Structure 1
């Protein structure tokens, strides 16, 4: 009798099952790590860790600034806080900021800009902040200017000054009104009275930036009276206006147009003075050149200073106008 043997079914591969289990375990481990990272990011940092990070960034930046030139480009300049002052008045004082190509130049330009803005006398405070530019534009920064316009636009000053060498004194009072039209303009009224019978009343306006002018605008209307009888036996009255044509750090050019009256109450004036008695038109240019290399304008210990003034009168075709040249 023939007997046939039945083949037994093959057993599944245990190695394949083990590999699948290992892959699943690795996936679970990766998911767990991602969840832990998300949880760590959600946990807020303590104040100490934030300060530690900021301190580390500042120290790193300071070391880099002291050791090398850090390239940077200004992407945008943002001005905040100017409710009345025109934007272009402030932007005119920030000219050096946009030209900076390194962080060192930018910081220096910001300091100069702050000094210029404070010199306008229309802001209580001026601050500059630097923020990183857009992510797609590396090595860029946004400059944010925060200004606070002065609340008290009216100010005044009064003083009494003496000159012991000539035994004379002068009292002066000034009232200023700031930023009337939002152009950084300063309007002032002043009164000066001297013990030598000299009196002057004037009204003036100063505008740091005027379109079409390269220099600040300074105009003044005045009326003065001076008693020169102790020196030349005549009295002088002058009424007119003056306009600063050029005003820079080292040079000034002023045009004056006025109506002058000379009187001789004592009848003791010289012949040259008597020829000028009565009314006369004054039209003159005054040029001043100056520079100061002293370490202090009040109590200098070293350095030198120089001032030269030249005045030319008689710039009208009228024969009665005063013609002179003074140096």
Structure 2
């Protein structure tokens, strides 16, 4: 009886051992299949979306980085590939989005919608021929006086769009409390007025100078009614950055929806010379975002997703 019992125990052990072997073979086979198919085939499928970027001349690593940027604009892929002045891909994307890869006036996009006060007007974005804002308001306070104030715009009355007018008045009243008397020396300009300015400066100083400091007609922010040139406390407008009070103006403009449009350290972005007197209305939220990020309006748009 003892020998039979021992034989049954050995058979049972063999049965358990067999089950373990079958299980191991199954698991091993499943693992090999996963390695062969999952680890090799799946990435190939996932990386197909980078093919177009790679074909443009980028490595697969660069393609992944490029596609991960929130402000990557697929429509400008070829321009990203051709632009080599930037040190990083992130910088390259921003600079191309700001049209820094193009020569001024190389191409022009016509702005059709003026309801969004943040819209771009520069050497690449122009207003339609004959554009005139339909909500212009004359400044009867906080404006220069012809014959008294230096470089006062030669018009009967300086005008701004209504929303800009309201914000400008609030800004000036706040400045008054700091003993800063802001005065507008220029606001809205007609197409003909801007053409006369550009033509005159091009004739006297040359086209390069005119293009650096005076926008061509239809491509001037003054044509929008959203920009205002200022002085304060009777100083010459082109020297205001040298006087006490200007720092307050810079640090508080965004609270009323204004930005310094052509900063000294952003000439390569805006394509205009430094203008300490030129402020553009974009609304409080956008102005604050631009101020906090030390952007220009071009960079604000360059940081956004493609429209």
Q: What TM-score do you get using the length of structure 2 for normalisation?
A: 0.25
Between structures 1 and 2, the one with greater strand share: 1
Between 1 and 2, higher relative CO (CA 8 Å, sep ≥ 6) is seen in 2
**Largest Rg, 1 or 2:** 1
